[in-house]
């Protein structure tokens, strides 16, 4: 491997630590929604995709079935597949390395890699691996801390955890709201999910909003 | 196997399958702008719905309680471009204060 660019290193490390620290919120959310500490840690190790992980614990916590939880999380995981499509020709790895690359293909590793484009393909690869492994390390470390912390709390409402979880979701969606169409979609989906909650089984009102997104995306 | 284990394992398997599939399909397959557009919009839809359901429902009933104050504070924090931990913690503190003392 060629020398690591210091800018690439700095970008990767700062993203890794900041994003990894959100793992605390995930660990706490998982336990607050009825998952065990072990299950929270396994989700961070194996699923390793923040939005999907928050979604599955959110759906089950709201009383949804395992199937609704898996479906919602998987719809959110589709974008990681798209990142894989973008990264594969640049990483050029096969076999076991490709399996490892796939596991650390997330928003952050892809974003940092693409951010290094001006510094060349080698810097892009370094950014991808450093950020992928960095987030993986800190995300799992902080998940344990959050899960154990929440387990020690007892009544999660007395600690505000029932608001911390939706606040974390809002923090995840906020940077994605770039245009008025995005904002309108967000409001419509929120209202739709609430309107359907008394009617549909838990979890389905959330999944159903994916179809609104597909309809909007395919229009024109 | 209970629902929580099923969800943990099922989510993990599919998450990896999606990532790995991406690394094994040709790039031109996803180049279509409509695929890109749908891909950007799905997280917005699902995450917004999750926020609403987590704040305004209890079981399958609609409800307004201390969580609304938490959401309001989180929204203000995001408008002010405060960092993520501040958003989450200020929301939790507000919500807890109202739950415990009102």
pLDDT band at A2; cut points 50, 70, 90:
low
Q: Are residues A186 and A150 part of one domain?
A: no
Q: Which chain A residues are Cβ-neighbours of B37 within 8 angstroms?
A: 217-218
Report ipTM (2 d.p.): 0.86
pLDDT digits (tens, 9 = 90+) for B59-80: 789 999 999 999 999 999 999 9
pLDDT band at A25; cut points 50, 70, 90:
confident
pLDDT digits (tens, 9 = 90+) for A102-131: 999 998 899 888 888 788 889 999 999 999
* Among candidate residues A93, A47, A89, the one with its CA nearest the CA of residue A70: A47
Report the interhelical angle of A107-115 vs A121-151 (nearest 10°): 150
Residue B37, in any domain of the structure: no
Q: Are residues A51 and A159 part of one domain?
A: yes
Q: Residue A46: which residues within 8 A CB-CB, separation 6 or more?
A: B12, B15, B16
Which residues constitute the domain of residue B97? 65-102
Residue B31, in any domain of the structure: no
Total count of domains within chain B = 1
CB contact under 8 A, A58 and B50: yes
Q: Are residues A59 and A12 part of one domain?
A: yes
Instruction: Check pLDDT > 70 for residue A220.
Output: no
Q: Which of B18, B34, B44 sits opposite A77 (nearest CB)?
A: B18
Q: Are residues A134 and A66 part of one domain?
A: yes
pLDDT above 90 coverage of chain A, percent: 60
Q: Are residues A123 and A36 part of one domain?
A: yes
CB contact under 8 A, A170 and B71: yes
Which residues constitute the domain of residue A82? 6-176
CB contact under 8 A, A190 and B52: yes
pLDDT digits (tens, 9 = 90+) for A96-109: 999 999 999 998 89
Residue A61, in any domain of the structure: yes
The rounded distance, in Å, linking the Cα atoms of A194 and A188 is 10
Neighbours of A184 (CB within 10 A): 12
The rounded distance, in Å, linking the Cα atoms of A185 and A197 is 18
Instruction: Check pLDDT > 70 for residue A40.
Output: yes
CB contact under 8 A, B49 and A65: no
Q: Are residues A128 and A218 part of one domain?
A: no
CB contact under 8 A, B46 and A185: no
Q: Are residues A96 and A33 part of one domain?
A: yes
Total count of domains within chain A = 2
Q: Are residues A90 and A30 part of one domain?
A: yes
Q: Are residues A155 and A220 part of one domain?
A: no
A-B contacts (CB, under 8 Å): 314
Output the DSSP codes for B62-74.
E--SHHHHHHHHH
Residue B27, in any domain of the structure: no
- B41 or B28: which leads in pLDDT: B41
Q: Where are the alpha helices (DSSP H) in A92-179?
A: 95-103, 107-115, 121-151, 161-173
pLDDT digits (tens, 9 = 90+) for A138-151: 999 999 999 999 98
Q: Are residues A167 and A217 part of one domain?
A: no
Residue A1, in any domain of the structure: no
Residue B102, in any domain of the structure: yes
Q: Which chain A residues are Cβ-neighbours of B79 within 8 angstroms?
A: none
Q: Are residues A190 and A92 part of one domain?
A: no
Q: Are residues A29 and A88 part of one domain?
A: yes
The rounded distance, in Å, linking the Cα atoms of A171 and A18 is 13
For chain A, the distance separating the N- and C-terminal CA atoms, rounded to the nearest angstrom, is: 46
Query: Rg (Cα) of chain A, in Å, rounded?
Result: 18
**Nearest-by-CA chain A residue for B28:** A85
pLDDT at A128: 95
Q: How far is CA A131 from CA A88, A220, B12, in A?
A: 16, 37, 20
């Amino acid at each position: 491997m060629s020398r690591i660019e210091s800018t690439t290193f700095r970008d990767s490390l700062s993203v890794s630590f900041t994003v990894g620290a959100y793992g605390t919120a995930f660990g706490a959310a998982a336990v607050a929604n009825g998952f065990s500490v072990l299950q929270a840690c396994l989700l961070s190790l194996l699923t390793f995709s923040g939005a999907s992980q928050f979604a599955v614990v959110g759906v089950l916590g709201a009383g949804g079935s395992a199937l609704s939880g898996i479906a919602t999380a998987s719809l959110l995981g589709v974008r990681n597949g798209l990142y894989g499509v973008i990264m594969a020709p640049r990483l050029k790895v096969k076999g076991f390395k490709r399996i490892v690359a796939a596991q650390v293909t997330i928003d952050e590793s892809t974003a940092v890699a693409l951010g290094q484009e001006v510094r060349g393909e080698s810097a892009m690869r370094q950014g991808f691996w450093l950020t992928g492994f960095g987030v993986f390390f800190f995300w799992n470390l902080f998940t344990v801390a959050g899960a154990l912390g929440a387990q020690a709390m007892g009544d999660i409402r007395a600690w505000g955890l029932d608001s911390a979880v939706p606040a974390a979701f809002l923090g995840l969606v906020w940077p994605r709201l770039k245009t008025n169409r995005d904002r309108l979609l967000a409001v419509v989906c929120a209202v739709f999910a609430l309107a359907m909650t008394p009617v549909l089984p838990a979890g389905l009102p959330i999944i159903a909003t994916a179809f609104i997104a597909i309809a909007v995306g395919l229009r024109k | 196997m209970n629902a929580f284990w099923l969800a943990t394992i099922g989510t993990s398997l599919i998450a990896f399958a999606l990532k790995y599939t991406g690394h094994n399909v040709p790039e031109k397959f996803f180049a279509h702008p409509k695929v890109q557009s749908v891909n950007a919009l799905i997280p917005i839809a699902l995450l917004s719905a999750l926020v609403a359901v987590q704040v305004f429902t209890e079981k399958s009933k609609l409800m307004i309680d201390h969580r609304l104050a938490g959401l309001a504070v989180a929204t203000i924090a995001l408008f002010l471009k405060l960092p993520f931990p501040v958003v989450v913690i200020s929301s939790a503190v507000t919500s807890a204060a109202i739950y415990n003392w009102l």
